[in-house]
């Protein structure tokens, strides 16, 4: 897995809603499902857009504005303005190809987008197949774009948790 922080520039802004549908203090953006902690965005406060960053603090999360460092409470129903990020087909194919090469694979044929989405926005993901040829199955790379502009790449061949083999007495090597 690879995480590219701030890998793309915003192409604009979009308005989203903060929601907590089950009233469990699990505030998130309705449109993307992401939680606001650690993100830079703006909230509509008394009719004015205030830009800042959300921090998780006890007992509630806090939105701290830039400039005057005012602490504002975040609540369900508020409007937020997020940077708008998009990855088009060419960039998705390029990211998958470069990541496959970093993992040691050599592409033989063209990469293809096999996910439903050929262009993704913040909060969305898609899959790209890197065709290796010689009868080998393609490496499928999942690409997810976050509201922060970060991109996560994950290949279907990556192994994260693997139980080591046991010896004849049932002990781990």
167 has a pLDDT exceeding 70: no
Confidence at residue 71, expressed as pLDDT on a 0 to 100 scale? 93
Share of the chain above pLDDT 90, in %: 57
What is the chain's Cα-based Rg? 21
Q: Whose structure tokens read 């997020």?
A: 82
The model's confidence at residue 129, banded by pLDDT at 50, 70 and 90, is very high
CATH no. of 10-84:
2.40.10
Confidence at residue 26, expressed as pLDDT on a 0 to 100 scale? 84
Range in 46-50, 67-71, 144-148, 153-157 with the lowest mean pLDDT: 144-148
DSSP secondary-structure letter at 33?
Answer: -
User: Exposed (0-12), middle (13-18) or buried (19+): which is 167, by Cβ within 10 Å?
Assistant: exposed
Domain boundaries, the chain: 10-84, 86-155
Q: How far apart are the first and last CA of the chain?
A: 26
* CA 45 to the chain's CA centroid: 27
The model's confidence at residue 162, banded by pLDDT at 50, 70 and 90, is low
164 has a pLDDT exceeding 90: no
Q: What is the pTM of this model?
A: 0.77
Confidence at residue 169, expressed as pLDDT on a 0 to 100 scale? 65
34 has a pLDDT exceeding 90: no
């Amino acid at each position: 897995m690879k995480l590219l922080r701030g890998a793309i520039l915003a192409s604009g802004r979009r308005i989203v809603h903060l929601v907590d549908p089950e009233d469990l203090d699990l505030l998130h953006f309705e449109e993307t499902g992401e939680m606001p902690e650690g993100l830079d965005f703006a909230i509509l406060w008394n009719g004015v857009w205030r830009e800042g960053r959300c921090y998780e603090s006890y007992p509630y999360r806090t939105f701290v504005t830039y400039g005057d460092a005012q602490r504002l409470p975040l609540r369900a129903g508020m409007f937020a303005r997020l940077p708008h990020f998009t990855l088009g087909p060419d960039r998705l194919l390029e990211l998958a190809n470069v990541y496959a090469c970093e993992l040691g694979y050599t592409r033989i044929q063209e990469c293809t987008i096999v996910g439903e989405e050929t262009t993704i926005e913040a909060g969305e993901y898609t899959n790209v197949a890197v065709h290796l040829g010689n009868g080998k199955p393609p490496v499928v790379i999942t690409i997810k774009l976050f509201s922060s502009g970060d991109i996560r790449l994950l290949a279907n061949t990556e192994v994260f948790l693997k139980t080591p083999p046991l010896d004849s007495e049932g002990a781990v090597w």
